[in-house]
Amino acid sequence: MNLLFATTNAGKMKEVRALLASAGIKLYYLKDMDIAVAAPEETGATFEENALLKAHYYHNFYRMPVIADDAGLVVPALNGEPGVYSARYAGVGANDAQNNQKLLQTIKARKLDRPEAYFKAVVALVTEGEEHLFEGTCHGRICNEPRGGNGFGYDPLFELVEKSCTFAEMDINLKNSVSHRGKAFASLAGYLKKIV
Ligand code: IMP
């Protein structure tokens, strides 16, 4: 089965190719396509809406099975912030350091101490006439200061309590085995193995 992963991120593509290797899938990503199309705006209010919106958009354009993912960090004590705004929490175009700083400032202003948080990832699969959603979550806490040099995004602030380390202190294999994204794609791989 040919499957298009709606991403331009080579790092993500490599990770997901490995996760789907055993599922009998030939995986393509947007840079493999002969004709390029502008990315859709992620206007959804939830991760599910954004993942579906992207998968349908590219499926309508390329007419082949498509997967698209959306993920982010949720802090329940902050009413779910940063949530779907994770990539642009400190403003459109903000970098990881600015987003992390905004999160720490917000937590401090609300006088919270190491609040509980979770990462959530949703993968949408859209084929002719069908759509399916797969999700994964990973629960932990937000630390008082960044720790570790690996990973990206909020990794230095997200502590997996049972391992006493942040995502940024883990190697990529350990992170994939416990992460929201790893779980969501493992669930997709299980489904694909059944239908391919
Ligand atoms: P995306 O939908 O996977 O591109 O994720 C959107 C944003 O959520 C990223 O820009 C990060 O800020 C945050 N995020 C998602 N997954 C992770 C993760 O595994 N570690 C750290 N931050 C993440």
- Domain of residue 149, CATH code: 3.90.950.10
Ligand 1 centroid–CA 106 distance in Å is 19
Nearest residue CA, atom 7 of ligand 1? Answer: 87
Question: 176: which strand partners?
Answer: none
pLDDT at 172 over 90: no
Ligand 1 centroid–CA 108 distance in Å is 22
- pLDDT category of residue 10 using cuts at 50, 70 and 90: confident
Q: Single out the residue of 45, 8, 16 nearest to residue 125, CA to CA.
A: 16
Q: Per-residue pLDDT averaged across 22-32, rounded? A: 91
Res 135: pLDDT: 98
Where are the strands (E) in the chain, listed by range? 2-5, 26-29, 66-74, 116-127, 130-142, 158-160, 165-166
pLDDT at 119 over 90: yes
Nearest residue CA, atom 15 of ligand 1? Answer: 72
Residue 70 known to be catalytic: yes
- Count of structural domains within the chain: 1
Domain of residue 69 covers 2-195
C-alpha–C-alpha distance, residues 189 and 38, integer Å: 28
Higher pLDDT, residue 154 or 176: 154
Express each pLDDT in 85-102 by its tens digit: 999 999 999 999 999 999
Given a contact cutoff of 8 angstroms between Cβ atoms, the answer to whether 159 and 142 are in contact is yes
Say if pTM beats, i.e. exceeds, 0.85: yes
Average per-residue pLDDT in the chain?
95
Ligand 1 centroid–CA 123 distance in Å is 13
